[in-house]
Amino acid sequence: MTKSTGEKLASCVITPSIESFDSLIQFMEKSDQFWVIKDTESRFVYMTDIARHYCDLPKDFKVEGMLDSECPASWSEHAPAIQNNDNVVRTTGKTKNILNTFTYGGREKRIQPFLGDVFPIYKDKKCIGTVAYLKKLEFYSMHHFIRGEYPSELVLSKPDDFFTDREFDVLFFILQSLKPKEIAIQLNISHRTVSNKVHSMYQKAGVNNLSEFKQFCISKGYDRYAPTKFINPNPFIVL
């Protein structure tokens, strides 16, 4: 059986003769990757600094010994699904792939998805916990490919006050290539209202057509803005 990325990276320390979590922690402390160790009750044993950053945990919060439901973070509401997944991994001994999206950044909320593995660790052929290794997924759009740019993170807080909240709602769907009638349905407003807002936005941006408007939005970074009312910022999916 081919090992997953996480299992390959940890293979040097995860062995049947492991005596404690200490060797794992020493390995992970030197890593700049997203690693999490949990015990057989799904309580946190260790979390790397990069994991704490994206989990948006307070700097003074002691995560060790805590359950997911006891953590002051938005993803704690998914604790039943997360702990059930941990239990499946422990009881079956099989690696599970997960897709998780974290909202972080204090007031300037940002969203970042991760794809990774949750796999069991053993001591004397007995499962003593689980390890999660997650890898950041980047957001690509066609303009990144065309312009040869690196992808960016999504921003959940309104970038600035150049447009009103409602105009930013319309802008979001314009950048998803929806037509005015489709935007009107999404926002439950009239087609005429959408057209008026688009006209007003063109005037503010000093542009004359859709192509120029999209370029203006990209130059301002508005293409990275995703209003939370239109997305689920905290999915936890077992693949």
pLDDT in tens, 132-151: 999 887 655 555 555 555 54
Q: Is the pLDDT of residue 188 over 70?
A: yes
Helix 165-174, helix 191-205: angle, nearest 10 = 90
CB proximity list for 71: less than 8 A, separation 6 or greater: 55, 57, 61, 63
The whole-number pLDDT of residue 139 equals 59
Structure tokens at 121: 């660790």
Query: Exposed e or buried b for every residue in 183-195, given b needs 16+ CB within 10 A?
Result: bbebbeeeeeebe
Summary mean pLDDT of the chain: 83
Model pTM score: 0.63
Round to whole Å and give the CA distance between 81 and 12.
Answer: 30
Q: Is the pLDDT of residue 5 over 80?
A: no
Nearest CA to 201 among 222, 182, 226, 187? 222
The whole-number pLDDT of residue 12 equals 43
Round to whole Å and give the CA distance between 81 and 235.
Answer: 10
Q: Is the pLDDT of residue 4 over 80?
A: no
Q: Percentage of the chain surpassing pLDDT 90?
A: 50
Round to whole Å and give the CA distance between 101 and 138.
Answer: 11
